[in-house]
Amino acid sequence: MKEKILQLLQENDTDALKELLKDVTQEELSEILQSLNSENLTALFGVLDKETAADVFVLLDRDTQRRVLKNFSDVKLQSVTDEIIDDDVKQLLETMPTDVVHEVLLKATPENRNDKIVEIVDYLGEKKYALLKPLLADLEPVDLAEIFSELDEEDLPILFRLLPKELAAETFVEMNSTQQQLLIRSFSDKELKLIIDDLFVDDTVDLIEEMPANVVRRILMQADSETRKEINEILKYPKDSAGSIMTTECISLRAHMSVRECFDKIRKEAIDKETIYTCYVTDDQKTLIGTVTVKDLFLHDYEEKVASFMETNFIFVNTQDDKEVVANVLSKYDLLSVPVVDQEKRLVGIVTIDDALDVITDEATEDISYINSVTPSDKPYLETSVFRIYLHRIPWLLILMVSATFTGLILNTYESLLSTLLVACVPMVMGTGGNAGSQASVTVIRGMALDEIRPRDIGKVIWKEMRVSVLVALSVGIVCFAKLQLVDRLIFGYDYSLLYSLAVGTAIALAVVVAKIVGCCVPIFAKSIHIDPAVFANPFITTITDVLSLLIFCGVTLGIFHLVV
């Protein structure tokens, strides 16, 4: 059998090899794999389907398992390792050596791996957690934070202490505020100081902003005087400003320095800086006069002065600029970091791309919440109390409910004049108008978020939406007419005459035109008076379009077509 398999491998006849392997038991296959050299082992194991490969892998000896893990890329092995770790935790740990289990987990997809590690933690018990130390040390901070979020509170401090010092600090930053607070309370002063010393200043500020006063006092007590000074400097800026998200840890050079002197300074300070790729050139008063990248330094002679090749036409932001503006600047100009200066153009810090991504994520979350009539929350859903969720949702529901007073008033006014057939069309007209307005508003809000649309562009926006609305209105009006005649009249037997259908079709078409114009104008108006356009997206536009759609419907059916009962 082995000779036949080797022959087919040499001939690269995959189909015949798969057919042959159908008659081979898993035990026999594992023995054959163990006897092959690395090249043939890799070739044969690659032919197996993921279920068979996973079952056979468990039967291999330790040396062969390690050869398989070494010779296959993570991408090729991922589906197989996912199958392997799908086994029961006890079976997984008893059928393979611990180091092989670690390797298998590292090559699995992060989601499946993290879930399995949580199961292993629950299975091992506190006294055997040390077995996980090598595995945890090889994971990414964000994956560790995800795993820790699933652990019991009493297990978290024990496992966190297994991490190497630098990895522990990086993981701590990725954890949510509840877990951070739990860990801080379990730390000794010495442990807390080690974590704080390894955090970048901007991360420490983020931590302080989310902690209660007693925890903040303890954090500040363990920070050194220089760090406390930098923290207080950042905390004095408005919450949503560039100053509040910047870090003061950047490389500052002088124009008179040579390339050699620059490299010496970078080597000396790099360990404590958040990024070193872009360096900032200042004068004796710390005024920002240029930028230079490490690439620039590499491409120039050691004795050349920075002043001769630094970039003097650079992008910068002010400490008081809105953090969303800063994020857009980084995105627009494809920057890894942007310098932050004060009113005198003195360099006070930088905003890095990772902080900008956090801002963009937070702003998008906030906009989605407002668009769906929910007050944004700064905590994950599962960690937010029921009462707080209630408080976030009830105000908008009450506003929308009370705003329905206007539509109720209109209906009460014209109810006696409208026939039952026309009243039945009111939800369709109002719903279509509301949806049309929402389409326009969401498009404009997105354009403004990406800085593609500004208040001064309102004329262009209205002109474009008017043309779009005419096309949409004609389509909706025609389909509405056909629907009333073919579906409501012929199929369901309702007495919609041609005049009734024409009146409703005309009303719904006009409602769409008006709703789209309102939908595109309201967000721009909100932006011009410095209010978040997303706040107006759903509650106010829905109310306005409902009222206008109903007025148009009554005006068309009663005023133009005279369809009075």
Task: Look at residue 97 in the predicted model and tell me its pLDDT.
Answer: 83
For residue 112, what pLDDT band results from cuts at 50, 70 and 90?
confident
Query: What percent of the chain stands above pLDDT 90?
Result: 36
- Tell me, rounded to whole angstroms, the distance of Cα 205 from its chain centroid: 21
> Which token pair is 329?
């600047």
Q: Are 207 and 215 in contact (CB under 8 A)?
A: no
- 3-state SS assignment for residue 293: strand
Dihedral sign from CA coordinates of 469, 475, 481, 483: negative
> Which token pair is 25?
């038991």
Task: Look at residue 470 in the predicted model and tell me its pLDDT.
Answer: 96
Is residue 529 classed exposed, middle or buried when 0-12, 13-18 and 19+ CB atoms within 10 A define those classes?
exposed
Residue with tokens 């180091």: 99
Task: Look at residue 288 in the predicted model and tell me its pLDDT.
Answer: 95
Task: Look at residue 10 in the predicted model and tell me its pLDDT.
Answer: 80
Average of per-residue pLDDT across 248-255? 92
Closest CA to 515 of 445, 446, 440, 449: 440
Average of per-residue pLDDT across 337-343? 93
Task: Look at residue 462 in the predicted model and tell me its pLDDT.
Answer: 95
DSSP β-ladder status, 317-318 and 288-293: unpaired
- Most confident option among 270-279, 444-453, 545-554: 545-554
> Which uninterrupted H or E stretch holds 89?
helix 89-95
Query: pLDDT by residue (tens digit) across 156-205?
Result: 888 888 888 889 988 998 898 888 888 998 888 888 888 888 888 888 88
Distance CA 132, CA 479 (A): 64
Residue 4, number of CB atoms within 10 A of its CB: 11
End-to-end CA distance of the chain: 91
474 has pLDDT over 90: yes
Average pLDDT, the chain: 87
Residue with tokens 């860990």: 183
386 has pLDDT over 70: yes
Strand segments, DSSP code E, in 271-398 are 278-282, 288-293, 317-318, 337-341, 347-352
> Which uninterrupted H or E stretch holds 497?
none
Distance CA 253, CA 265 (A): 8
Q: pLDDT: is 130 or 491 the higher one?
A: 491
In this prediction the pTM is: 0.68
Return the minimum-mean-pLDDT range out of 186-200, 371-385, 538-552: 371-385
Average of per-residue pLDDT across 114-128? 77
Q: pLDDT: is 127 or 276 the higher one?
A: 276
Collect all residues with Cβ–Cβ distance below 8 Å to 231 and sequence separation of at least 6.
201, 204, 205, 208, 220, 223
Distance CA 481, CA 471 (A): 16
SS3 content of the chain, % helix, strand, coil (to 5): 70, 5, 25
- Most confident option among 30-34, 177-181, 222-226, 430-434: 430-434
DSSP β-ladder status, 278-282 and 252-254: parallel
Collect all residues with Cβ–Cβ distance below 8 Å to 489 and sequence separation of at least 6.
495, 496, 501
Query: pLDDT by residue (tens digit) across 492-518?
Result: 999 999 999 999 999 999 999 999 999
- 3-state SS assignment for residue 376: coil
Distance CA 70, CA 330 (A): 40
Distance CA 492, CA 529 (A): 50
DSSP string, 501-554: HHHHHHHHHHHHHHHHHHHHHHHHHHHHTT--HHHHHTHHHHHHHHHHHHHHHH
For residue 551, what pLDDT band results from cuts at 50, 70 and 90?
very high
Collect all residues with Cβ–Cβ distance below 8 Å to 501 and sequence separation of at least 6.
480, 481, 484, 485, 489
For residue 126, what pLDDT band results from cuts at 50, 70 and 90?
low
Q: Are 195 and 187 in contact (CB under 8 A)?
A: yes
Cα angle, residue 190 at apex, residues 188 and 191 outer, rounded to 5°: 65
Average of per-residue pLDDT across 229-240? 84
